Structure 1
Amino acid sequence: MEHPWEKKFPVNAKDYKLYEDIGEGVSATVYRALCVPLNEIVAIKVLDLEKCNNDLDGIRQEVQTMNLISHPNLLKSLCSFTNGHNLWVVMPYMAGGSCMHIMKSAYPEGFDEPVIATLLYEVLKALAYLHENGHIHRDVKAGNILVDLNGAVRLADFGVSACMFDTGDRRRSRNTFVGTPCWMAPEVMQQLHGYDFKADVWSFGITALELAHGHAPFSKYPPIKVLLMTLQNAPPGLDYERDRRFSKSFKELVGTCLVKDPKKRPTSEKLMKHHFFKQARAVNYLARAILDGLSPLGDRFRTLKAKEAALLGQNKALYEDKEQQSQVRDFTLVIKKYSVMH
C-alpha cells in the first residue's frame, strides 16, 4: 500500500477543500480537509504569519524539520506553501485526535495502565529517533500525541522542535524559552545553562502523569504559578496511597524521569528498556480500548471548545493584570535566587 508521504501533494490552496477545524493554537488553526486531486482526507495547519511576531526563520525551520523527519511514530509534513499571509502545512489526518481530547471527551480520570504503557512506548520510539538525529521536541504532552482509527500513534511536532545541528555543528543545548509550562523542565524555566534532549524526558514524565490522571500536575494554576511551583516544589509523581491502581513499575518510571538534575535522568533509548513497558501491547489494542464509541473528531473538538469558552468566562478573575504583575515579580525573584544558588 502506498503511504501518503510517497504521493506528490499539490502546493496550491485551490486544490484543497477545508472542512471543520479540529485544533487551534495562538496563531494557527488545524482543519480536516480534502486534497481534491488525490481524493484524500488530510489535516491542514493554517498558520497566520502576521500573528507570529515575524519569527519567519523559526517557522521556516519548523517546516524544514517536519519535511526531513521520517519515522512511523512522528507526524510528517506532506507539503507546505504560502497562501496570502498564511502558511499551509499539509499533514496526514489522524482521525482519533489527540490523547488530550480523547481524555477530555471520554476519560476525564485518565487511562488504564496498559493503554498508558502502549501510548508511551510509541512516543518513546519517536523521541529516541529525534534525539538520535539531533532534535529536541520541546513540547511533549498528551495534546501532541495523536491516534489514528487503527490505533497508530504519532507524536505531533507543531512548532517548537529545534534542530541541534545548525550549519553542520552540533549545538549541545538550546537557550530559547518555549514549550508549555506544566510540562516544562526546570532547566528550561531557569534559562541559565541552556538545556538538551533530557528536557524531553522530564516532559515525558509529566505526560505519563497526565495520561494517568486526565490532566497534568499544576494544570489548574496560571502559567507563572506553574513555573514557581516546578522550581520550588519537589517533583510531582504517582502517590503510593492515592494512585493504588497503578503498578510499582509505573511509579518508578515516572520517578526516574522527574528528577530535577537533567544529568540524572535516563535517555529515551534507555527508558525503552524499562520493565514497565513489558505490558505495552500492539497498537490495534488502542483502537478497541479508547476509540470505540467516540463521536467524530470535529464534533468532539466543537463540544470541547464550547465547554472551554464557558470555563474561561468563569475563571477570568484569575488572570487580572494586577495578579499577573505580582506573579511576574515573584517569578523574577525566584529566577534571581536560582541564579545566585547555581
Structure 2
Amino acid sequence: MPAIAPRKIIGAVEDEWPLYRREAITSDYEIGQPVGFGAAAVVHLAKFCPIDVTPRPAPLTCAVKIIDVDRMPTDADIRRLRMETQLMALSKHPNVLRVRGEWIDGSKLCIAVRYMSHGSLLDISRYAFPDGFPEDVIATALAQALHGLVYLHQNGWIHRDIKAANLLVDDDGTVLLADFGVSSSMYPDASVASKGETVKPASLAPRKSFVGTPCWMAPEVVERKAYDSKADIWSFGITALELASGRAPNSLFPPAKALSKTIMDDPPELDREGGKYKYSKAMKTMIDNCLQKDPAMRPTAQKLLEHPFFRTAKKKSFLVSALLADLPPLQDRQYRRELLSNPH
C-alpha cells in the first residue's frame, strides 16, 4: 500500500520519541505478553529492534495492537483502517498517541505505539477508583484530552471512540488520546488528504459509518445519519459521566438496549450528590452542553475548552500524585486481575 504524502498539520509539535518505520515488519518486533483486550484486538507489550540496522540499537519498549482483520466486514474496511492508521502516523501533538509502525502479518493488522505503563483512565479506575474520580482529577485529565481533540478536529479527523479506555496517562501526568482503530478522516477521499494543504471546513465531508462503542455513541451515529466531529463531543460528555461514576450510562444493558436508550431516552445527567464525590454545577453544565441530542447545539471542542469547568484544571503534574503514586505497572495489575478471576 503506498504511503500517504505529508500535508500541513495544524498545531503540530516536535516529537521527541524515535519514529519507527511506517512500513514495519514483524521481525522488527519481539511480541510479549498481552496487556489489554478489545472486541477484535489484543494489545501486547513488545520490543522494537530493527534487524537491518547496523549497529543494531538497544531494544525500545513499545506496545503493539494486533487486530484480527478477518473479523472486519469487507476488504474496503481493512484498506480504510490502514489508511487512517497511516494518517495518524502523521500526528504530532502532546495529547495524541502517535502511531509508530503498521504492518500486516497474515490475517492480523499490527499497529505499534509507545508503551504507556500506567495504562488508561479506565485501567486506573478499575484498580484504584472504582466509584469514580474526584472532580479536580476529571477536570485536569479531560482538559488535556480536549486539547488533543481540538488538534484532531482542526486537522479533519474524527476520533469516533472517545472513552476512558482510550485516555492513556504518561509518567509525567500527560493524558493522551489513543486507539484510532475506528478513527476517520473527514476528507472525502485520500487524494484530498495528501495534497500538502491546510484543512478547510468546505473540504470536509460528514461520515455515515456505524462505528464506535455502543454506550458512548452519539444519537446521530446510532441512527446512521450523517455526522461530523460533534459526535466526538457527545462521546466526550459520556466519558465525563463515566469518570464520575466508574461506568458509562447504560453500560449494564446489552448493546442493542443501550443503543435504543440513547435514541429513546433523555440524555443522561450528572448525579452531583449521589456518588462517592460531590461535583460542581459547572461540571454538570459542561456535560449537559455535550449531551445535546441535536449535534448543532453541541459546542465545538475549541469552544468547550472555554467552559468555566476547565478553569479548575490543574497542571498535568497533579495527576502524578493524584493517580500514579503507588500504582503498580499495568502488566502487574493485569496479572492481579487474572489471579482474582482464576483463583485456582
With the shorter chain as reference, the TM-score category is 0.7 to 0.9
Match status 1:176 vs 2:232 = no
Partner SS for 1:246? coil
Match of 1:315 in 2: none
Distance 1:214 1:221 in 2: 15
8 Å Cα contact 2:158-2:183 kept in structure 1: yes
Distance 1:112 1:288 in 2: 13
Match of 1:156 in 2: 178
Match of 2:252 in 1: 220
Match of 2:63 in 1: 43
Match of 1:17 in 2: 30
Structure 1 vs Structure 2: percent identity of aligned residues? Answer: 43
The letter of the residue matching 1:274 is H
Task: Mark the runs of 5 or more structure 2 residues left unpaired by the alignment.
Answer: 1-13, 50-56, 193-201
Distance 1:160 1:25 in 2: 12
Distance 1:22 1:91 in 2: 13
Match of 2:233 in 1: 201
Partner SS for 1:97? coil
Which of 43, 46, 63 aligns to 1:33? It is 46
8 Å Cα contact 1:94-1:146 kept in structure 2: yes
Q: Greater share of helix residues, 1 or 2?
A: 1
Please give the root-mean-square deviation of Cα atoms over the aligned residues, in Å: 2.2
1:182-193 matches, within 5 Å, as 182-191=215-224, 193=225
Distance 1:72 1:81 in 2: 24
Distance 2:24 2:82 in 1: 16
Spell out, residue by residue over 1:134-175, the C-alpha distance to the aligned partner (whole angstroms, 9 max, x if none).
111110000000011221111003311110113328343111
Spell out, residue by residue over 1:257-307, the C-alpha distance to the aligned partner (whole angstroms, 9 max, x if none).
111111111110001111111111111211110111122201212444566
8 Å Cα contact 2:30-2:47 kept in structure 1: yes
8 Å Cα contact 1:42-1:93 kept in structure 2: yes
> Aligned pair in 2 of structure 1 residues 5, 285: CA closer, same or farther (>3 Å)?
same
Match of 1:65 in 2: 87
1:1-342 matches, within 5 Å, as 3-6=16-19, 11-36=24-49, 37-53=57-73, 54=75, 55-167=77-189, 168=192, 170-191=203-224, 193-242=225-274, 245-304=278-337
8 Å Cα contact 1:28-1:45 kept in structure 2: yes
> Aligned pair in 2 of structure 1 residues 173, 47: CA closer, same or farther (>3 Å)?
same
What TM-score, normalized to structure 2?
A: 0.84
Partner SS for 1:17? strand
Shift of 1:201: 0.5
Distance 1:200 1:182 in 2: 13
The letter of the residue matching 2:162 is V
> Aligned pair in 2 of structure 1 residues 95, 81: CA closer, same or farther (>3 Å)?
same
The letter of the residue matching 1:222 is P
8 Å Cα contact 2:93-2:148 kept in structure 1: yes
Tell me the matched-pair count: 309
Distance 1:96 1:240 in 2: 28
Spell out, residue by residue over 1:200-237, the C-alpha distance to the aligned partner (whole angstroms, 9 max, x if none).
10100000000111110111111111111111111111
Shift of 1:6: 4.2
Task: Mark the runs of 5 or more structure 1 residues left unpaired by the alignment.
Answer: 311-342
**More divergent stretch after superposition (232-241 vs 139-148):** 232-241
